[in-house]
Structure formats: structure tokens, C-alpha cells
Amino acid sequence: SQTIHQWPATLVQPVGSPLSLECTVEGTSNPNLYWYRQAAGRGLQLLFYSVGIGQISSEVPQNLSASRPQDRQFILSSKKLLLSDSGFYLCALQKRDEETQYFGPGTRLLVL
Amino acid sequence: AQSVTQLDSQVPVFEEAPVELRCNYSSSVSVYLFWYVQYPNQGLQLLLKYLSGSTLVKGINGFEAEFNKSQTSFDLRKPSVHISDTAEYFCAVSDVSSNYGNQFYFGTGTSLTVIP
């Protein structure tokens, strides 16, 4: 079965600082990958999804970006963080021949 | 695009009592339906899913859900809850015919609190 790793688990950053969150997967090849954000007390907001290396689709205009430099690596970045970027960031994968999305453990980001 | 509605944002229930969490979705086109559970500071864990076939599906931890196409609902039930069931529950819908292929739509979640 597949495994999703997210790093770091928790991050506290000042406003205006850069950001890099990493998601790596094991146990599958060529999955679709997703970044979601979960604000406190709210549901999941899809930020980006990727169907392959270098292929990124953005769902919400924001100061965040995503990259997929390798098949099993998905990175979420920002050049300058905003207070509103605080939240719980979840990476998810979906295998090509399955209908289910599986989620990683998440990264808690607090922007001060 | 789909929209998913979880009518109850918070549900308190006593231990060993039954619980039902409601979920409605907007479109009657062919869909896949999912319930996920999220414990504090953790990711989402799949509870159960409906892809096709029997409208009553069973999942982990004693949960089950019933798909009602005419009412576009997918309600989650458990006959007797435990303290350990205290968590956030998310309903999700995926369009079978979506051009996006794999886009999921999530409800805003229901916080289940089991009272001793």
C-alpha cells in the first residue's frame, strides 16, 4: 500500500518569509497528487493538483505555488507568507486506477 | 461542479448512543461518495466509500452509510458510539464523469463529540 510523508510536521514562520513544504509518496508510481489547505474550523480547500512531473494546475489564485520535480515528490512554496496562509496543509494522492484519495499526516503552519 | 453540504457542524452524543451524520450533494450525475475521519492534528483517514452496487456500505470502526440517489444523500451512521469516535468527519463527492477526472468536493465537516 501507499505511504505519504509530509515534512515538516509543524512550522512557525514570520510574515513575509519564504515557505517550502514537502510531500513524498511511496508504494505507487505516477499518482495524481494534491495540495489542500484546511483553515481552523473549516473544510478542505484544494490548492493545486498534479497529474505528472512538471504538470501543475492551480485551483485558487494566491501567493502560493507548487512544483513536482520528481514523480513522487510534490512541493508547496511561497516567496512571502501572509497571515492568511496559516492553516493545516494536507497532501493527497490518487492512484491512476483507483477512485479514492489518500491523505498524508499534514503540516501545521502558523504565520505570525 | 458539485457542492457538498453537511448540515450539522457539531453533533454531541452520549457514549453508546446511536449517531447519524448527514451529507447531501448537489448534482444527480453519477458520483463516487466517501466519508473520511480526521482526528486532531492528523490527516484524513478513509472510513468508507460508495462506488456502485449495494446502497448500504460498511466501513471501518463499525460505521456504515447509505446512498440515496433520489435524495442525493449519503448519510453516515453508527449504532453505538465510543469515546474514541470523537473526531471531525468529512463527506466527499467525486464526479465519475468529471473532465477533471479526479476532482473531489468536500463538505465543511461535522465535529462529533462523544460524551461519557
Across the interface, whether the CB atoms of A103 and B106 are under 8 A apart is answered no
**Contact yes or no for A101 and B104 at CB 8 A:** yes
pLDDT given for residue A97 in this prediction:
78
Of the partner residues B34, B44, B94, the one whose CB lies closest to the CB of residue A90: B44
Q: Cα–Cα distance between B17 and B5 in angstroms, integer?
A: 24
Domain CATH number, residue B8: 2.60.40.10
* Yes or no, beta carbons of A104 and B43 under 8 Å apart: yes
Instruction: Read off the pLDDT band of B99 (50, 70, 90).
Output: very low
- Mean pLDDT for chain A overall: 93
Nearest CA in chain A to B10: A41
In this prediction, residue B41 carries a pLDDT of 85
Residue B111 has pLDDT above 90, yes or no: yes
Contact B45, B58 (CB under 8 A): no
Please tell me the predicted confidence (pLDDT) of residue A61.
Answer: 66
Residue A14 sits in a domain of what CATH number? 2.60.40.10
Chain A residues with CB inside 8 Å of B44's CB? 44, 90, 92, 103
The answer to whether B102 contacts chain A (CB < 8 Å) is yes
Is there a contact between B43 and A49 if contact means CB atoms under 8 Å apart? Answer: no
Kindly state the average pLDDT of the residues A12-36. Answer: 96
Torsion of CA B60, B62, B66, B67, to 10 degrees: -10
Q: Which structural domain range is residue A67 located in?
A: 3-111
Contact B90 A43 (CB under 8 A): yes
- What's the number of domains chain B is made of? 1
State the pLDDT at residue B1: 75
Looking at residue B61, its pLDDT comes to 93
Substitution target in A23, A38, A88, A91 with the highest count of B β-carbons within 10 Å is A38
The model's confidence at residue A39, banded by pLDDT at 50, 70 and 90, is: confident
Segment B59-70, tens digit of pLDDT: 999 999 999 989
Structural domain range at position B16: 4-115
How would you class A50 by CB atoms within 10 Å of its CB: exposed for 0-12, middle for 13-18, buried for 19 or more?
Answer: buried
Give the contacts of B99 (CB within 8 A, at least 6 positions apart).
Answer: none
- Please, what is the average pLDDT of chain B? 91
Give per-residue pLDDT as tens, B4-38: 999 999 999 999 999 999 999 997 678 899 999 99
**What letter represents residue A76's amino acid?**
L
Domain count, chain A: 1
For a pLDDT cut of 90, what percent of chain B falls above it?
A: 75
User: pLDDT tens digits for A41-90?
Assistant: 678 989 999 999 999 988 886 799 999 999 999 999 999 999 999 999 99
Region A1-25: mean pLDDT is 96
User: pLDDT tens-digit profile of B40-62?
Assistant: 889 999 999 999 889 999 999 99
Say if residues B93 and B102 touch (Cβ distance below 8 Å).
Answer: no
Q: Which chain A residues touch B104 with a CB distance below 8 Å?
A: 46, 101
pLDDT greater at residue B92 or residue B100: B92
